[in-house]
A and B are shown apart, each in its own frame.
Chain A
Amino acid sequence: MANHNAHNAHDTQHGNGGHGSHEHGGSMKSYVIGFLLSIVLTIIPLVVVMNDLLSKSGTTLLILIMAVLQFAVQLLFFMHIRDEEKPRFNLMALIFGLVILLTIVAGSIWIMTYNTVAH
């Protein structure tokens, strides 16, 4: 029984650290900061778009940057990508996925923009 207790204590302590990206960090503070940041990053593009504050290309650029920042906030404050232990397989997989994502999206746009046959 004593063993079990010691074991459980060990489990609760360690169980938080080793699981790849997720469980380690997660203080209330980091969640609240992340939540507030994500709200601000949602309101800024809304205000800009609804009041036509910028030119069309300026707005497009701004709201895309806000979306990418929002992605970073979720990744850092909610998904705790920073807390992953080495080797950082999760981060590597993510970067690989993003490279493929950018290739597909940018490649498709590029090809279809200059595809004169289609127009």
Chain B
Amino acid sequence: MKRTLIFKNKPVITATSTIAGPKESLGPIGKYIETRLDNDKFNEKTFEKAECKMLSYVIDGVIKNSNRKRESVNAILAGDLLNQIISSSYAARDFEIPYIGVYNACSTMSETLAIGSVLIDGGYMENVVCATGSHFATAERQYRYPLELGSVRPPQSQWTVTGAGATMLSKNGVGPKITMATFGRVVDFGITDANNMGAAMAPAALDTLVAHFNENNLSPKDYDLIITGDLGVFGSKILKDLAWEKGFDIFEKHIDCGALIYEPHEEEFQGGSGAGCSAVVLNSYFMDKFKNKEINKVFFLATGALLSTVSTQQGESIPCISHGVVIENRG
């Protein structure tokens, strides 16, 4: 059973749009982000409303950036981390466009790209918006503790990114193309510590990575970069070790969005996480590198931890998933 899809009518990434909170904007990739917020609430009453507004902001932004009319967009594919993916659904309420809600935790960005590519390659749609976002405050409340509680974050923990990103996939246009997609399997190696997402997710990334290389007779040499979503510094280290054990040397090629987004600083420990992390970094920083032809072929695999607070409290381990897409600069 092959898990990799090779697209014939390669979908084009014609435009992107990103937004991020003040903390992310101060980070190393801050200058690449399209809209930099100076307050976490985005002038809304609650953080949930702010997250929703960020998403609708980037969806609107990407349609404008691609110089397309709203009517010409066939579907919005979006997801986020909140229960019942409310941010995406409420954001989609503002647009009179068919909406496909998807959820794969922090892997949602690559999942929407993969599904969107299938819809375009199959000839069913011409323009698809793929968007995801997350917010530090809403994720903290849902998965952890209230913001003002004086608790200590363990050193393995990561910091949920406040931000959202959207990509416009089109049948025709100019830009990097999505040539392949490898769908992930749910992988669970038995990590139960919800603060150690990097360790829980690394085997899922490995599973997709190895399947992708083996099925297509590819190796890390064929890529300029292998970009993971939010493994963080610790998870990246594990992924490199595990891949090396499987015979793939990715030490030179691997880079992680979570490890990239913040300045090395004690508070965030292992780096950024959350659905917004890969969405922001891919659609700002890496798309800029594509535009300047500094990178021409990457394998982008965002990783997601499919847990909920209930499963954690019932002592379940953390199942994880990783979907990958290949993005290429082709003439």
Q: Do A and B bind each other?
A: no
Residues of A within 8 A of B (CB): none
